[in-house]
């Protein structure tokens, strides 16, 4: 898949928005296609998170903690506080799930602060034409997480309230009536009002993260187009000006982006905890 280097801004951006996939997709849904770059980087980051935390967990002592154990405990305690604030029952899954989401999504997003051309250029040197390094700019990745959370929401709703309880929650509120006939008549309206927010949860979860990170990456790409012509633009004053602008603006945006990537990881984690807490609590 040797792709010629892009020369115009349009080509450059399109080039950067193309996934490394096994083949060209046909249509919106095509399950024969796989994004190798997204899977590769998310698995690498999963290993980074799982491995480092596992090492910390294996050597963790109740005595005086080391520096890394301290850091890990800081994160764990932060997540634990968030979970305990939202959910008052006992659930062995919820807190580890929140920790996984927060750290994994944070690492996904952190890839966005790397210079946009660093890894793709290295990959190009190795003969790989396209490379998207930020897994959270892939809707498949964010939607996979949101969908898993959605399945867990359904699972815990049915587990804690029973299938009848869950269905009743979907169909018998917010409009209620004493008369059984009126009650039955209200079911479609209730179902509509309840099913939309339920389905909106995974979609909003995944789109929020995807949208924020995609936009962030797009800003970096647009700033990168200021110096698209390489060394030859250093011969003009305008070229130097654009170079300086790119450096300054990218720096400012990267600093601001540090907030965004943390905040988006945090939001994904907190909303997951809140949704799952709601699923397990009776109204």
Partner 1 sequence: MNINLTLVVQMLVFIVLIWFTMKFVWPMILGPMEERSRKIAAGLTAAAKSEKDLGEAETRAKEIIREARDKATQIIDQAGKRSNEMIDEAKGTASAEAQRLVAQAHEDAALESTRAREGLRREVGKLAVDGAARLLGREIDPKTHAELLDSLAAEISNG
3-state secondary structure 189-227: HHHHHHHHHHHHHHHHHHHHHHHHHHHHHHHHHHHHHHH
The closest of 225, 226, 246, 243 to 234, measured between CA atoms, is 243
CB 63 within 8 A of CB 166: no
Question: What are 35's strand-pairing partners?
Answer: 21
Which of 67, 92, 282, 283 is close enough to bind partner 1 by CB under 8 A? Answer: 92
Stretch that binds partner 1, among 59-67, 122-130, 239-247, 249-257 (CB under 8 A): 59-67
Q: At closest approach, how far in Å is the CB of 19 from partner 1? A: 8
Which of 99, 186, 265, 273 is close enough to bind partner 1 by CB under 8 A? Answer: 99
Stretch that binds partner 1, among 41-49, 122-130, 153-161, 238-246 (CB under 8 A): 41-49
List, in order, residues 6 or more apart from 99 with CB less than 8 Å away: 75, 76, 79
Stretch that binds partner 1, among 34-42, 125-133, 181-189, 253-261 (CB under 8 A): 34-42
**Binding string to partner 1 for residues 111 to 140, with x set by CB under 8 A, is what?**
---------------------------xxx
CA distance 161 to 2: 55
CA distance 227 to 14: 16
* Active-site residue set: 204, 208, 212
State the residues that interact with partner 1 by CB under 8 A. Answer: 21, 25, 27-35, 38-39, 42-43, 46, 49-50, 53-54, 56-58, 60-63, 65, 69, 72-73, 76-77, 80, 92-93, 95-97, 99-100, 104, 138-141, 143-145, 147-148
């Amino acid at each position: 898949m040797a792709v010629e280097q892009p020369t115009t801004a349009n080509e450059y951006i399109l080039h950067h928005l193309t996934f490394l996939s096994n083949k060209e997709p046909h249509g919106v849904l095509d399950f024969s296609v796989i994004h190798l770059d997204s899977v590769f980087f998310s698995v690498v980051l999963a290993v980074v998170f799982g491995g480092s935390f596992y090492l910390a967990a294996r050597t963790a002592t109740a005595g005086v903690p080391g520096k890394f154990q301290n850091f890990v405990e800081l994160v764990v305690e932060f997540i634990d506080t968030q979970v305990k604030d939202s959910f008052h029952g006992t659930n062995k899954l919820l807190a580890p799930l929140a920790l996984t989401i927060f750290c994994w999504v944070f690492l996904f997003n952190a890839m966005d602060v790397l210079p946009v051309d660093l890894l793709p250029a290295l990959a190009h040197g190795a003969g790989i034409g396209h490379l998207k390094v930020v897994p959270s700019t892939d809707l498949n990745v964010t939607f996979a997480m949101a969908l898993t959370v959605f399945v867990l929401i359904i699972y815990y709703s049915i587990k804690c309230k029973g299938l009848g309880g869950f269905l009743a929650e979907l169909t018998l509120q917010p409009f209620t009536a004493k008369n059984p006939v009126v009650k039955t008549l209200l079911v479609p309206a209730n179902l509509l009002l309840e099913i939309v927010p339920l389905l909106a949860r995974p979609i909003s979860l995944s789109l929020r993260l995807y949208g924020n990170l995609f936009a962030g990456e797009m800003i970096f790409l647009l700033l990168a187009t200021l110096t698209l012509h390489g060394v030859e633009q250093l011969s003009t004053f305008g070229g130097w000006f654009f170079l300086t602008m790119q450096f300054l603006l990218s720096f400012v945006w990267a600093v601001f982006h540090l907030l965004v990537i943390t905040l988006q990881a945090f939001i994904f984690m907190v909303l997951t905890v809140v949704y799952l807490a709601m699923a397990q609590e009776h109204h």
